[in-house]
């Protein structure tokens, strides 16, 4: 049984519409004594179960949805399924000319507080919630099983992590501790990614389409790259 978090009357509306968070001002009370990062069961004012998620008393975002199936066991099978589904979705989009992409995008993949970027044979994680910090090893185990990377590196830093009561952390979590850049392919072009000292997790993966378009527009031209971080 999980601790229970009851919402004020009418404050369940956003959650029922699919919003992944509950803010602290919407909470009427807590049954049990959950620690920050623990999993709790959210209920409406009538006692109807709504969702399971991470609880944190420190932040305005007091609850982050993990599952709307309130009978779901949050165990190794759960984390494996989440990673497997994220990988299945990306495999439909990634072609043989690209081996750098975002595998897990936090709430978008049902894993609040976790970013996982793939750089060829290297995985870089960013953990930003106390709940995900507690279950990080289970996720790492699932990533190793399904992707078999050479290494996994954690690059967890920033204001949001501090708000959750966590210290910044940079460390290898799995595999060899290779340093230096990893060469990746994006749309057939090679880029060297510094996943340890680079910005964010090492590369701005969300700019893939922009780089492709700029390449087409500037073909056979001499271009000065001042601010594109590539």
pLDDT at 203 over 90: no
**What sign has the CA pseudo-torsion 127, 133, 137, 138?**
negative
- What CATH superfamily is the domain 76-217? RNA methyltransferase domain (HRMD) like (3.30.750.80)
Mean pLDDT value across the chain: 93
Domain ranges, ordered by start, for the chain: 4-67, 76-217
pLDDT at residue 230 greater than cutoff 80:
no
- Between residues 200 and 176, which one has the greater pLDDT? 176
CA distance linking residue 53 with residue 130, whole number of Å:
12
Planar angle of CA 53, 87, 2, nearest 5 degrees? 15
Find the angle CA(217)-CA(221)-CA(222) to the nearest 5 degrees.
125
Phi, psi (deg, nearest 5) at residue 169: -150, 135
pLDDT tens digits for range 67-124:
999 999 999 999 999 999 999 999 877 788 999 999 999 999 999 999 999 999 999 9
**Residue 176: Cβ within 10 Å count:** 9
Looking at domain 4-67, its CATH superfamily turns out to be PUA domain (2.30.130.10)
pLDDT tens-digit profile of 156-198?
Answer: 998 999 999 999 999 999 999 888 899 999 988 899 999 998 8
In the prediction, which pLDDT does 85 show? 97
Contact 156, 170 (CB under 8 A): yes
């Amino acid at each position: 049984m999980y601790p229970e978090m009851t919402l004020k009357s009418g404050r369940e509306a956003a959650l029922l519409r699919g919003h992944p968070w509950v803010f602290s001002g919407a909470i009427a009370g807590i049954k049990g004594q959950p620690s920050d990062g623990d999993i709790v069961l959210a209920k409406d004012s009538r006692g109807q179960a709504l969702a399971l998620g991470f609880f944190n008393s420190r932040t305005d975002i007091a609850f982050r949805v993990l599952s709307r199936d309130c009978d779901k066991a949050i165990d190794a099978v759960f984390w494996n399924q989440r990673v497997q589904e994220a990988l299945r979705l990306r495999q439909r989009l990634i072609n043989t000319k690209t081996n750098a992409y975002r595998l897990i995008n936090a709430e978008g993949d049902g894993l609040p507080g976790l970013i996982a970027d793939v750089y060829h044979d290297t995985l870089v994680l960013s953990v930003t919630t106390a709940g995900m910090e507690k279950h990080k090893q289970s996720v790492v185990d699932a990533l190793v099983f399904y992707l078999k990377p050479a290494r996994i590196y954690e690059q967890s830093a920033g204001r949001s992590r501090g708000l959750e009561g966590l210290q910044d952390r940079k460390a290898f979590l799995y595999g060899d501790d290779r340093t230096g850049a990893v060469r990746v392919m994006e749309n057939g072009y090679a880029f060297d990614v510094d996943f340890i000292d680079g910005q964010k997790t090492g590369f701005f993966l969300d700019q893939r389409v922009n780089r492709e378009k700029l390449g087409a527009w500037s073909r056979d031209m001499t271009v000065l790259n001042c601010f594109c971080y590539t």
